[in-house]
Structure 1
Amino acid sequence: MRGLVVLTIVKYPESVLREKAVPVEKMDKKLDVLINDMADSMYENDGVGLAAPQVGISKQVIVLDIGHGLRSLYNPEIIEKSDEEESMEEGCLSLPEILVHVSRPSRIVVRGRNEYDKLVQVEAEGLLARVLQHEIDHLNGLLIVDFASSVARSFLKSKLKKLEKNL
C-alpha cells in the first residue's frame, strides 16, 4: 500500500500552466496513481480542486472535493452552459496570494470519464460548477488572471512580477 504522496504545485509563470493539456488515451495504473497523488496534493494544500498541469503534468485530468467527497475526471469537457452568470472571488494554488473576481456560468454540464473509466455527465451549479470550470480552464492553459478586468490586471501586475522573480 502506498503512503501519502504530495506532488509539488507548479507556480506561475511555469509554461505548463499556459499549454493545452494532452487528452488521456486510456485508464491504466499510471493514471490511477496520478489521480491519487493529485488528490493527496490537493488536500495537503487545502485546495478544493487541482488539474494535472498544476503538478507539472500536461494531461487532461482533474480532481476536486467541495466537501462532498473526492471526484476525479479525465478528458472533461463542458457541453452545456447557462446564460446566467455569477461573479465570485477565486484563488488558485498556482497563483499564491492572488484573488480575482471571475464571472462564470452558474450552471454547466460536463462530460468526461471518472476514475472507474466510466463515461459520466455531471450537472453542476454553484460552487461545483465554479470549481469544474476553473480546473477545466487549467487544461486549456487559462488562469484566473486572464479573466480579470483591466483595472484589476494593472493592480495584479506587481504581484505577478513578484511570482516571476521567485521562479
Structure 2
Amino acid sequence: MAMRALRYFGDPVLKTVADPVTRFDKSLESLVTDLLDTVDAPGRAGLAAPQIGVSLRAFSYNVEGKIGYVLNPEIVELSEETHEIDEGCLSVPELWFPTRRAVHAAVRGVDTRNEPVTVEGDDVLAQCLQHETDHLDGILYLDRLDPDRKRRAMREARERDWFWSRR
C-alpha cells in the first residue's frame, strides 16, 4: 500500500508496550502491507508497528533475501552463545553501537489468518528478531547498551535534528 513515515527516539509510542493483535481483518492486512513496503528499502532489516505509530504487536523483516512478518511474536529460543554486533535502528538514525545479542533466535507468532508462524535465524536475522520483538515491549536497542555506551548514545541522540522533543 504505502511506505509509512517513521517515528523517532523520544516519541512515547516507542517506549510503550504494544497491544496484541486481536482483529484479523482488512485493516490488519493493510498494516502488514505497509510494514512490508516500509521495510523494503535499502539498508532496512526490520520494522515494528510502533515505529510507524501503530501500537500493535507486529513486525516485518527483510534480511538476506528472507522477507516476511510476524504478528504477536514471542521469542521462543535464544542461543546461549552471544556476540557483540553493531546495531542501529530506523527510529535512532545514524547511530550505531555494539550490542550484545544471541547468535541464534527463534520467534513464534501468527500470520494475518491467525495461523501459526515460526521464524528463526542466525547472526543478522537473529539480531533482527530480537531487536523488533524488543520494540514491541517498548525497548530500544539503546536500553541494552552498557552504561558508558548508553550515556554516549543518549547524548548523541539528543543532539540530532530528528530527536522527537526537538521537533
Q: How high is the TM-score relative to the length of structure 2?
A: 0.91
Equivalent-residue separation in structure 1 for 2:80 and 2:123 (angstroms):
14
Q: Report the secondary structure of 1:159's partner residue.
A: helix
Q: Does 1:87 align with 2:84?
A: yes
Q: Aligned in 2, Cα 1:65/1:58: closer, same or farther, shift over 3 Å?
A: same
* Preserved CA contact (<8 Å) 2:47 2:61: yes
Q: How high is the TM-score relative to the length of structure 1?
A: 0.91
State the match for 2:136 in structure 1.
139
State the match for 1:33 in structure 2.
30
Greater Cα offset, 122-131 or 5-14: 122-131
State the match for 1:22 in structure 2.
19
Cα distance, 1:125 vs structure 2: 1.6
* Preserved CA contact (<8 Å) 1:6 1:41: yes
The aligned amino acid for 2:123 is G
Flag structure 2 segments of 5+ consecutive residues without an equivalent.
Answer: none
* Preserved CA contact (<8 Å) 1:72 1:115: no
* Preserved CA contact (<8 Å) 1:6 1:44: no
After superposition, the C-alpha distances for 1:107-144 in whole angstroms (9 at most, x for unaligned) are: 12211012443202223222111101100000000001
State the match for 1:73 in structure 2.
70
Greater Cα offset, 149-158 or 79-88: 149-158
State the match for 1:60 in structure 2.
57
Aligned-residue Cα RMSD (Å) equals 1.6
After superposition, the C-alpha distances for 1:8-51 in whole angstroms (9 at most, x for unaligned) are: 10001000000000000132111111011111112246411000
State the match for 1:166 in structure 2.
166
The percentage of counterpart residues that share the same residue type is 32
Flag structure 1 segments of 5+ consecutive residues without an equivalent.
Answer: none
> Which residue of 7, 20, 23 corresponds with 1:10?
7
Cα distance, 1:65 vs structure 2: 0.8
Equivalent-residue separation in structure 2 for 1:51 and 1:70 (angstroms):
14
After superposition, the C-alpha distances for 1:76-101 in whole angstroms (9 at most, x for unaligned) are: 00112211111101110000111121
